[in-house]
């Protein structure tokens, strides 16, 4: 069904919180330079699934993961894989815009500094590049040293995306990145997604079915921890095969 190159792939992924089995035998292929949306009712495990893709789920005390996640064919959960390395390759953007309470410049430079880049000139250049990519450069070039918290919600979210882009990740995970934004800021982020997918593989979790329909190339429908249906977004929204999917997307659910 998926024809482009597979960038990221989960194989029989399972996640438990303590005794609670939250993600169940999840096998999904995520194609390169496409947008894959994960939809499903609240609490079905979308965020958990997403966080398992860059090993952020390990930060939850009591979380346990089994199965494989292959990034370009390599299992990121292998013993000798460094999770910080993985997180440089798989960036993440969160539900609420969360810039650090530092200057805009520092925010974007942060990941680069973590990576050991200290040369001022190089940093400037890379920061500018990232900010341009998210279309924020023109808006903030004159006040890069002002606090990032002065920006509006939508701008903050774009800054956070720029911050994630700065370290040149290959994959970007987004957990409901627009749910705290107004429709206009949301539209801007969606436009940005179209630009970004030229260079990045994107996985987005959203509650907003319309958003999934608008922006994604592929859609995965998740229910009670299981992958119910996965396919081209058109297929899912026009011809879902599964009864549950049909009920969910037509709002006849629950």
Partner 1 sequence: MKLGTRKKLSEQLEDLKSKTMEMGALASTAVEKAVESLVKRNVRLAKKVIKEDDKIDDLEFEIENNCMHVIALQQPVAKDLRTIGTCLKIITDLERVGDRAVDIANITIEMAGRAPVKPLVDIPRMAELAVGMLRDSMRAFKEGNSSLAFELGKRDDEVDRLAHQVTRELFSYLVEDPKKISDAVRLMLVASFLERIADHATNIGERVIYMEKGEMVRIN
Partner 2 sequence: MVKAKTCERLGFWAARVAILISLSITGYMLFYIISKGASIISWDFLTKPPTSGMTAGGIFPAIVGTLLLVTLAIVISLPLGLASAIYLVEYSSKESRFVRLVELAVYSLNGVPSIVFGLFGMAFFVKFLGFGTSLLSASLTLSLMILPTIVATSVEALKSVPDHFREASLALGATKGQTIVRVVLPAAFPGIITGAMLGVGRAAGETAPILFTGAVFYMRGLPTSIFDPVMALPFHLFVLATEHPNISKVEPIQYGTALVLLILVLLISLIAAVIRYRYRRKRKW
Partner 3 sequence: MKEKIRLKLSGKILTFPPASVSILAVFFIFIFVFSQGLPLFSKISPFNFFFNSTWRPTATPPSFGIVPLFLGSLLVTSLALLISVPLGLLGAIYIAEIANPKIKEQIKLTVEVLSGIPSVVYGFFGLRVLVPLVQKTFGLPTGETALTGGIVLSIMILPTILSLSEEAISSVPVEYKEASLAIGATKWRTIRSVTIPAAASGITAAIILGLGRAFGETIAVMMVTGGAPIIPTSIFSPVRTMTQTIAAEMGEAVFGSTHYNALFALGIVLFTVNLILNLLAIRLIKKKKW
Interface residues toward ligand ATP, by CB under 6 A: 17, 20, 22, 40, 42-48, 60, 207
Report the alpha-carbon distance of residue 216 to residue 35 in Å, rounded: 5
> Contacting partner 1 (CB under 8 A), which of 181, 216, 221, 228?
216
Q: Please state the closest distance from residue 187 (CB atom) to its own copies, in A.
A: 5
Q: 153-166 vs 183-196: helix axis angle to the nearest 10?
A: 20
Query: For the chain, first and last CA: distance in Å?
Result: 29
Beta bridge partners of 203: 36, 173
48 belongs to the binding site for Mg ion (CB under 5 A) = no
Question: Which residues, including other chains, have CB under 8 Å from residue 250's CB and lie 6 or more apart?
Answer: none
Contact 110, 159 (CB under 8 A): no
Query: Does the protein bind Mg ion through residue 47 (CB under 5 A)?
Result: yes
Which helix (H) or strand (E) is 114 found in, with range?
helix 104-114
Q: Which does 100 bind (CB under 5 to 8 A by kind): its own copies, ligand ATP, partner 2, none?
A: partner 2
- Which of partner 2, its own copies, ligand ATP, none is residue 46 near (CB under 5 to 8 Å by kind)? ligand ATP
Q: Which is nearer to partner 3, 83 or 128 (CB)?
A: 83
Binding residue for partner 1 (CB under 8 A) from 3, 79, 121, 198?
3
């Amino acid at each position: 069904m998926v024809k482009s190159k597979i960038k990221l792939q989960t194989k029989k992924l399972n996640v438990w919180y303590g005794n609670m089995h939250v993600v169940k035998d999840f096998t999904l292929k995520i194609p390169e330079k496409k947008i894959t949306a994960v939809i499903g009712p609240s609490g079905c495990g979308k965020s958990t699934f997403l966080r398992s893709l860059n090993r952020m789920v390990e930060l939850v005390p009591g979380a346990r993961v089994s199965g494989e996640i292959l990034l370009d064919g390599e299992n990121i959960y292998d013993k000798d894989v460094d999770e910080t390395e993985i997180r440089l390759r798989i960036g993440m953007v969160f539900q609420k815009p969360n810039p650090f309470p530092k200057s805009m410049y520092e925010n974007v430079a942060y990941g680069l500094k973590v990576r050991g880049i200290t040369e001022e000139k190089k940093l400037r250049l890379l920061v500018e590049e990232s900010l341009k990519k998210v279309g924020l450069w023109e808006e903030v070039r004159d006040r890069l040293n002002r606090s990032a918290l002065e920006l509006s919600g939508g701008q903050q979210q774009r800054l956070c995306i720029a911050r994630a882009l700065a370290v040149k990740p290959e994959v970007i995970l987004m957990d409901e990145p627009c749910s705290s934004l107004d429709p206009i800021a949301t539209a801007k982020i969606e436009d940005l997604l179209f630009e970004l997918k030229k260079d990045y593989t994107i996985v987005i979790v959203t509650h907003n079915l319309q958003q999934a329909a608008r922006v994604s190339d592929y859609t995965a429908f998740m229910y009670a921890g299981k992958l119910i249906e996965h396919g081209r977004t058109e297929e899912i929204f026009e011809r879902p095969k599964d009864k549950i999917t049909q009920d969910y997307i037509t709002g006849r659910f629950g």
